[in-house]
Each structure stands twice: as structure tokens, then as C-alpha cells.
Amino acid sequence: MNKQDMHMLYAYNRWASARILGAAATLSAAQFLAPGEFPHGGLRGTLVHTLFAEWIWRMRWQGSALHVRWNLGDFPTVASLKTRWLTEEMKLMAFVDGLTEQRLTAEFDYISTEGNPHRSEAAAMLTAMGQSPGDIDLIVFLNEGSPTK
């Protein structure tokens, strides 16, 4: 893994997240807040978990070992979630921009919390609600010729 690879992967991550959030923005408040049968509940729970996972990984990479969970009530709307998401993306890209090749190969301590990212589950929920974000596979991102920054 080199810095160029990291930029491409995080450009893909931003692209896929933007598609998910764009589709979510078309939903009613009731649809966004509705419970669901997925591991993290409905769409809001799944998206908050996904953003939390991105945040906690950045924190781990920066040397913080945190044992916290986010409160769903802090994200009552898609707009509130998107605002926090964009802030986290800026911080994450600043971190990636500052990486050196040496830092990319350095070991770091991993201290686990429960949960895994579930962007694909959010896409499935949106599709079931008639608001598919479209194909968000990495190969589609690459075929579209999207920028790496």
C-alpha cells in the first residue's frame, strides 16, 4: 500500500458515501428514522455506525484507543448526519495527505470495539425504499474515471 493507493481508496470511499447520502436525502424523515432488521437497525443506525467506524479508525491510526459509542439521537436528520460526515471526511483526508511512506508501513495497536462498517446494508435499505444509490462497487468508481483526491 502506498500513498497513491490510499488516496484512490479514500476517493472511492468519499464517492460511495456521497451516493449513499444523496439517496438518503430523498427519503422522508420517517423512512430515515424507521427501525429495521439489519444489525444496526434502520438506515440511520447503519449510517451512524458506518461514520462511527470511519471516525474510530482515524482515531486509532492517530494513536487514540477509544471505547465509546455514538448516540443516534445526535443525528436526528440526514442533514445533521451529512454535516458530521463532511467534517470527518475533511479530517480523514488531511490525515491521509500527511501520511509518509514510512507511516504507511508502521505498525499500530488495535483496540477493538464492537461492530463492522455496513455501507452495503445501507445501500440495500435505500434500494428497498425505492431510492437506490446505484452501483457503488470500486470497479464502477474506477471505470467512471473519478479523481483520486
pLDDT at 17: 95
> Phi and psi (nearest 5°) for 34?
-60, 140
pLDDT band at 142 (very low <50, low <70, confident <90, very high): confident
C-alpha distances in angstroms, 14 versus 21, 54, 65, 68, 87? 10, 11, 24, 24, 12
Whether the predicted pLDDT of 148 surpasses 60? no
Model-level pTM?
Answer: 0.75
Other beta carbons within 10 Å of 129: 18
pLDDT at 117: 41
Where is 87: in which H helix or E strand? Answer: helix 78-97
What architecture is the 3-143 domain classified under in CATH?
Answer: Up-down Bundle (1.20)
Burial of 125 by CB count in 10 Å (0-12 exposed, 13-18 middle, 19+ buried)? buried
pLDDT higher at 28 or 67 = 28
pLDDT band at 144 (very low <50, low <70, confident <90, very high): confident
